[in-house]
Amino acid sequence: MTFDKHGVLEMAQLNFDKDRPKAENPIKINDVSLRDGHQSLFATRGRTEDMLPVAEMIDDAGYNAVETWGGATFDTMHRFLGEDPWERLRVLKKHMPKTPFSMLLRGQNVVGYRNYADDVVKAFVQRSIDNGMDIFRCFDALNDFRNFETAAKVIKDNKKHLQGVVCYTLNQPRLGGEVYNMEYYINKVKDLIEFGVDSVCIKDMAGLVAPYDIYNLVREIKKFTDTPINLHTHFTSGMGDLAIFKAIEAGVDIVDTCIGPYAYRTSHAAVEPLIMSLLGTNRDSGMDINKINAIAEEMEKYIPKYKHLDNNPKYATTDINVLLHQTPGGMLSNLVNQLKAMDALDKLPEVFRLLPKVRKQLGNIPLVTPTSQIVGVQTVNNVLFDSYEGEYAQITKEVKDLCYGLYGKTTHPIDPEVQKKALKDYPRGEQPITERPGSILEPEMEGVKEEFGDLAKDIDDEVLCALYPVTGKRFLKWKYGMEEVPADVKAKTMAEVEKEQELIRKALSGELTSKGKGTGRELEVTVDGETFTVEINDPNGPAAPQFKGRKKKEASADEAATGSVVAPIPGMIVECKVKVGDEVKVGDTLVVLEAMKMMNNLDAKAEGIVKEIKCDSGDSVAKGDLLLVVEPKA
């Protein structure tokens, strides 16, 4: 039988042995389960304790590299899990000494949501290397590679691997059009090669890349470079593993996958079918499927601890709508969570309608962290607070920074009217910059040492506080026993999971007495002495079980009328910029509120005197909470 040649793929003799001869051109496979996998499926809440049982097994599986860190892990660990991000890196390295570690680095954004000063970038990258990092997947949300320069120098000076990233995004369902077309991506790859990267990653964060588009792109890239090409794509649209296969046929060198339990939906293609499908070809990975299956079985033991974080409202595994709105999974979950907290989930269709318009007005930028959050949160603000379309009544600090040029050069110029509104009274000036953002930022590390000197015990603590001053300070108080770790931050045990599952089982079987009204069963349930109101919906109904917490006191109409400040959206207090007795004028920023990782300045609506402050840095607040009382001038 004569087999057709699929690109560079050639057929060979089938051999299922674990020690089979090495293929002529084996595909290299990265595992991203321990970072992007659980970030995609359960909000980056995977804990180190549940990674250690499989760490040595993964190290022995034959991966090209394992992504263990970066992205949202640094933020989520210290903010929500009470874990030291640096310690995870050190501990995993002890258990996985053979396989190179990879991390996702947001260029000058490091692992945060703004561009940090060069001294912060240098300190972070150096400490990452010192703690065990080998490969730095370095990207910029605007594909402005000037934002790589500072990090790249440290990586190269330490002789570590610099992987340059082109963020893959679209304005239409398939590659082409006037903006994000073949020419755009070819030129970006050429820029990276000229930059001097060790490998190039095509980073498709939303699962948009189509099989034949990536085939053609890889073939074109291979015409002018031997630099290794790595494909990173998500499964969201359902095309993930199809795209990986066509990329392999085109000659891609490295692909990213997850182990079965952490794969699919908004995560990545599973590695198991890939291993089996490439047997008997010149691109056989050489990996032992039995070792991977053993890892998957071990992972399954701990998945129940995270099932409650799966907020996918659909039964379907794929969502082709991502090709229409180009929204990455993480960005979509942020939008949904923000609207839920505002009791405004019915506004989601309007958010989707406005999203492309806001994106275009902000320079047609790629949708990847942090620009995905910047566009998403601003769109939500426009839907909730604008009295007319395009008003931009509540502009986030990050949008103002973007309009000033602090994130770099946008794909297209920003809409002049939006830019003018954003830069009105902007502290740095109303004329945007064109130079590399990091070059105008003042050093930050010395200030961090002065501010957190008594709390930060070493350079790792200082870097954490430089990146996240408010939540970093709170974490260090937990770390050093100065404050009790909150119950909702502590790890959930399997015994607790089993108790919850039994509770749900009893509720659904009618063994608990219904107290409620409406479409579901509303029950009062006592667990370990604490009473909850639990609504158990009809399994065939539209909603999932809801656990209703107590609301904080909202501002009364009288308080709101005085010019007092209430939280317009749920979030965390970053800073209160005034103290009791201060005189304020209309437009003065009184409180900075972080919502969905974006900063919102809450301004004075009346001239007067600050009478009372009801919030402090680090406080979590609900929509409508009274934050500050202003007594108007007579």
58 and 135: one domain? yes
Q: Give 568's pLDDT tier (boundaries 50, 70, 90).
A: confident
129 and 80: one domain? yes
The answer to the question of residue 480 being in a domain is no
Check whether 195 has a pLDDT greater than 60: yes
**Choice among 326-335, 354-363, 491-500 with the minimum mean pLDDT:** 326-335
The answer to the question of residue 315 being in a domain is no
**Which range marks the domain in which residue 278 is found?**
28-309
Give residue 594's pLDDT.
Answer: 87
Mean pLDDT of 318-327: 84
Separation of alpha carbons 473 and 464, rounded Å: 9
53 and 169: one domain? yes
- Answer with the one of 408, 434, 460 that is the final residue of a domain: 434
The answer to the question of residue 531 being in a domain is no
389 and 261: one domain? no
Residue (of 8, 36, 38) closest to 23 by Cα position: 8
Whether cis (ω within 30° of 0) applies to the bond prior to 85 is: no
Q: Give 561's pLDDT tier (boundaries 50, 70, 90).
A: low
326 secondary structure, DSSP code: -
Residue (of 122, 72, 105) closest to 438 by Cα position: 122
Residue with tokens 């920003």: 414
Q: Give 16's pLDDT tier (boundaries 50, 70, 90).
A: confident
The answer to the question of residue 173 being in a domain is yes
- Answer with the one of 434, 467, 490 that is the final residue of a domain: 434
Cβ–Cβ < 8 Å for 541, 559 = no
Check whether 543 has a pLDDT greater than 50: no
286 and 378: one domain? no
Q: φ and ψ at 523, to 5 degrees?
A: -125, 145
274 and 396: one domain? no
Give residue 522's pLDDT.
Answer: 55
Separation of alpha carbons 69 and 32, rounded Å: 9
pLDDT tens digits along 286-298: 999 999 999 999 9
**Choice among 256-270, 294-308, 491-505 with the minimum mean pLDDT:** 491-505
Identify the CATH number of the domain in which residue 622 sits: 2.40.50.100
The answer to the question of residue 491 being in a domain is no
Q: φ and ψ at 107, to 5 degrees?
A: 55, -130
- Answer with the one of 277, 309, 341 that is the final residue of a domain: 309
371 and 297: one domain? no
Spell out the long-range contacts of 316-321 with Cβ–Cβ below 8 A and sequence spacing 24 or more: 317/235, 317/238, 317/264, 317/265, 318/235, 318/236, 318/237, 318/238, 318/265, 319/236, 319/237, 319/238, 319/266, 320/237, 320/238
340 and 229: one domain? no
Identify the CATH number of the domain in which residue 362 sits: 1.10.472
Mean pLDDT of 603-631: 88
Check whether 312 has a pLDDT greater than 80: no
Give residue 2's pLDDT.
Answer: 64
The answer to the question of residue 473 being in a domain is no
379 and 336: one domain? yes
245 and 119: one domain? yes
Count structural domains, the chain. 3
Separation of alpha carbons 590 and 592, rounded Å: 7
The answer to the question of residue 513 being in a domain is no
Check whether 504 has a pLDDT greater than 80: no
- Residue 303: other Cβ atoms inside 10 A: 16
Contacts of 472 by beta carbon, 8 Å cutoff, 6+ apart: 78, 452, 461, 464, 465, 466
273 and 195: one domain? yes
CA distance readout (Å), 116 to 423, 451, 467: 20, 17, 8
Identify the CATH number of the domain in which residue 123 sits: 3.20.20.70
Give residue 513's pLDDT.
Answer: 55
Residue (of 131, 105, 130, 135) closest to 28 by Cα position: 135
What's the token pair of residue 276? 């089996």
Q: φ and ψ at 356, to 5 degrees?
A: -60, -35
279 and 342: one domain? no
Give residue 548's pLDDT.
Answer: 36
Mean pLDDT of 229-247: 97
CA distance readout (Å), 502 to 277, 395, 495, 514, 529: 40, 46, 11, 17, 17
Mean pLDDT of 539-544: 42
The answer to the question of residue 204 being in a domain is yes
